Structure 1
């Protein structure tokens, strides 16, 4: 049964101009030097500790609530909305008419920036759209100004996968709208026989063919940057979520981009910079002075400044003309012994996908920033038992061959402030991606981890980025290196073993 909007008053699918008008009325908004609008939200990152799934709608056992509790908070929210002015934004997750999902956002009009940002990400409804008959497949009901006592920070994201309704309380961070819809869509894709990937997608023309590359990574690890950085005239298809289906078929999700703005530099990320400075881009938690001057490097409030804008601004590859995926890149923002690139076999690919290793960023809030993390599939929005994710990935790799690699987008030899370490820079990562699709890397087996590492790679002259062991050896730190090797292999095996039902071949690939 479709969700029925019952509010004090409703604006149905208002246009971009009306949402911009409402946003400019918000007391925490202002207009920037680029003539776009910026909002300083109370909340500066997604609230993972406040996210709970109705236990009878999922097979996961982590962070669930009872059906009775979900119904209780739903009643509280509906009673609140009965006296509020709301806007409803309808659209599609995905562009393919045979695969797309009808989506709806219901939100207080006093937080219209979230509606404006979400409208940029949805694919639009067509001329046949009638709000009276539109029946969404996923619905996010969003009350940023309604606290929910008893939950962390009086904040709650309550997810019901039976009805595909997510209810958000007391957060004014746009990411809860975006991820609310995509979290439910994750489950829909799984039930259709595929797997949702927290991934960018790009097409790179080479050798007379158009190569489809998927880039998996936790928020803030360089996924969007890697997707938009150009090699050989490449074009982006999607920057955050895709569906990977049997036979390597790829489906897009969003008609816009939600990108981090910290350190945004036109020299290194010209595509994202140009789009972010367009007049109809939305900015969130980006530093702006009283004159509208934007500072993408000021982190006095947060490093997790964000922007949304229409995907058309980056001249994307047509989403309906994407060949089956040929390459899968797993990003790991590491700072010690992970090489710039490593090539994986089938079982290793599923294992490192499940390990989802990285250093946390501000996108996950203060609880994650700067800490070593393992997030299966680098997808914290998968609402099922995590073993389902690893096993489905192995099945998809069985049915369609992909070349899979781990890319370190961080450092080797030491973290920020450690003079002994070296940064893997954006030009390094770009050269690695190009060499992968052109097949110009010379490989050798790493005796410690069993995967293959590069002995020669055009565009990366520093062998210590490609083989960190050499850096440790030159610096007289081999004992430190060997200790990390043994610790990492032990911890990886233990971590994979913790997933009951995970295919044993995935665990045994860590040797």
Structure 2
């Protein structure tokens, strides 16, 4: 039996080893092994069990002298010893003896100059199908010449860690050893952990090649090839808004920005399915077909019809599919220098303007701040929107110090005169529970106006509380929507809530980034005020109203 060098990983006495099986065989294997069922459209539907989102507290980085000074250690990047990693690896590989193993050898990085080789070693056929969909698939010739991978990821969902002896948080663990070029993922069947491990690795490697890695989607105009990128955390609309039928999709989640342009890290998409329907999101809806993998969507066991409105398994229902399943995609996933950057924030307070224009300093402020609301299901324990500040719109996946990424973005905005906008895809007319989520059609219209130049000549009003410039008119959007205060019935409640959020912005920034240049600090809410001067801050915001 060909083992494809798995012995080097300490994997012996395996029952069978399969490498780069086609989707048909992987789907068949997954069904045969009881991992999932096939829907009426031919997609594979699986239930990931306890973990239906990322287990953020179970992620670790091996702390070695070679990487110690590079990593931004803290609550996100938690250290674990090399000894603990090696012992756990031995236990996990021993556990996999006499089992079927599925390998996928593929690439991350559509730009040949920066492509990295990944070997994904799976216990489950369904997760191997997922990575077949999400990574860039090699040709037969490329597979023959694949050689040694740059990084290896071993995923064993049924192996349960012991927190007392393994030095981890729970039965699940996601551990990256950058020096050994290896990742262990145990105790969770949520496939997003594998995908995000690849992203965290690329975020570590790319700055060494003077490439800015970004948690963003990207698309471009089919005629002019002008490129736009969309930053945002899960649930803010990156995938939905970038899958625009009028534009060519480059990628939906992870990209690099080099001196020649933007390139996709992936070969597929990972989209949310909750409340999915063919009218609002036809591209994603029709991508759920044979070859795709759907997680935690309730499906009728007889008719095999999915119910995308049923959240009984999770709010974080997902589908992974090859990017070719979407019409109008760029193959390979390469675009030009971005002309427009969109920062997406799902504001659960309902007070941020639906779209604002940012200059360079304001762009740096909001990039570092990364405000949004964690929406239900994207992480364990999140059941309703929770306001959060996630550095660089992707803090869980950024191992280096924020200054590294922020400095690179600032240089590129200035060098290429890229336009930047902050877009609120969250609530309007009130906070979560009172107001309503911003209509997708309105958000699409505002982004279209930003891309086609309409907002370049629009009249703007300065929002003094948030220190933002807000366009007062946008085609196909009611004018009262443009100023959030106009959408609230209780204006006093809006004023109080806006000042509350503005203060949160300021305190977060001054706590995390007090040494940032003065011009960047002053580009956000609060200006030069100190966190301790609460009364002065509130009076300043009150005068601004």
Length-normalised TM-score, structure 1: 0.92
Question: In the alignment, which of 418, 431, 434 is matched to residue 415 of structure 1?
Answer: 431
Tell me if 1:432 matches 2:440: no
The 1:77/1:503 distance shift into structure 2, 3 A limit, reads same
Cα pair 1:387 1:499 within 8 Å, conserved: no
1:390-409 mapped onto 2 (5 Å cutoff): 390-409=406-425
In the alignment, the residues of structure 2 paired with residue 238 and residue 471 of structure 1 have an alpha-carbon distance, to the nearest angstrom, of 34
Cα pair 1:464 1:470 within 8 Å, conserved: yes
Question: In the alignment, which of 24, 29, 36 is matched to residue 29 of structure 1?
Answer: 36
Displacement of 1:345: 0.7
1:254 aligned partner: 266
In the alignment, the residues of structure 2 paired with residue 192 and residue 369 of structure 1 have an alpha-carbon distance, to the nearest angstrom, of 39
Tell me if 1:481 matches 2:494: yes
Cα pair 1:245 1:396 within 8 Å, conserved: no
In the alignment, the residues of structure 2 paired with residue 268 and residue 305 of structure 1 have an alpha-carbon distance, to the nearest angstrom, of 17
Displacement of 1:31: 1.5
Question: In the alignment, which of 23, 39, 49 is matched to residue 46 of structure 2?
Answer: 39
Displacement of 1:164: 2.6
Question: In the alignment, which of 119, 125, 129 is matched to residue 112 of structure 1?
Answer: 125
Displacement of 1:417: 3.6
Structure 1: which 5+ residue stretches go unaligned? none
Displacement of 1:499: 3.3
Displacement of 1:482: 3.4
Question: In the alignment, which of 137, 147, 154 is matched to residue 124 of structure 1?
Answer: 137
Cα pair 1:258 1:307 within 8 Å, conserved: yes
2:464 aligned partner: 447
In the alignment, the residues of structure 1 paired with residue 436 and residue 383 of structure 2 have an alpha-carbon distance, to the nearest angstrom, of 23
In the alignment, the residues of structure 2 paired with residue 369 and residue 197 of structure 1 have an alpha-carbon distance, to the nearest angstrom, of 26
Q: Which moved more, 1:292-301 or 1:57-66?
A: 57-66
Tell me if 1:289 matches 2:300: yes
Cα pair 1:12 1:131 within 8 Å, conserved: no
3-state secondary structure, aligned to 1:456: coil
Size of the aligned set, in residue pairs, is 496
Tell me if 1:313 matches 2:325: yes
Residues 100-159 of structure 1: per-residue CA shift (max 9 Å, x gap): 111110111xx1100001011221223334579621112111111111111333111111
Tell me if 1:221 matches 2:236: yes
Tell me if 1:375 matches 2:390: yes
1:196 aligned partner: 213
In the alignment, the residues of structure 2 paired with residue 70 and residue 55 of structure 1 have an alpha-carbon distance, to the nearest angstrom, of 10
Cα pair 1:28 1:41 within 8 Å, conserved: no
3-state secondary structure, aligned to 1:90: strand
Displacement of 1:82: 3.9
1:174 aligned partner: 191
Cα pair 1:199 1:239 within 8 Å, conserved: yes
Question: In the alignment, which of 348, 362, 365 is matched to residue 362 of structure 2?
Answer: 348
3-state secondary structure, aligned to 2:499: helix
Length-normalised TM-score, structure 2: 0.86
Displacement of 1:37: 1.6
In the alignment, the residues of structure 2 paired with residue 500 and residue 338 of structure 1 have an alpha-carbon distance, to the nearest angstrom, of 22
Cα pair 2:369 2:389 within 8 Å, conserved: yes
The 1:132/1:343 distance shift into structure 2, 3 A limit, reads closer
Displacement of 1:244: 1.7
RMSD: 2.1
Residues 147-204 of structure 1: per-residue CA shift (max 9 Å, x gap): 1111333111111122331110111111111111111111111221122111110113
In the alignment, the residues of structure 1 paired with residue 146 and residue 386 of structure 2 have an alpha-carbon distance, to the nearest angstrom, of 47
1:97 aligned partner: 112
1:339 aligned partner: 353
In the alignment, the residues of structure 1 paired with residue 243 and residue 88 of structure 2 have an alpha-carbon distance, to the nearest angstrom, of 41
Cα pair 1:329 1:407 within 8 Å, conserved: yes
Cα pair 1:265 1:273 within 8 Å, conserved: yes
The 1:417/1:107 distance shift into structure 2, 3 A limit, reads same
Q: Which moved more, 1:117-126 or 1:494-503?
A: 494-503
The 1:502/1:192 distance shift into structure 2, 3 A limit, reads farther
3-state secondary structure, aligned to 2:422: strand
3-state secondary structure, aligned to 1:265: coil
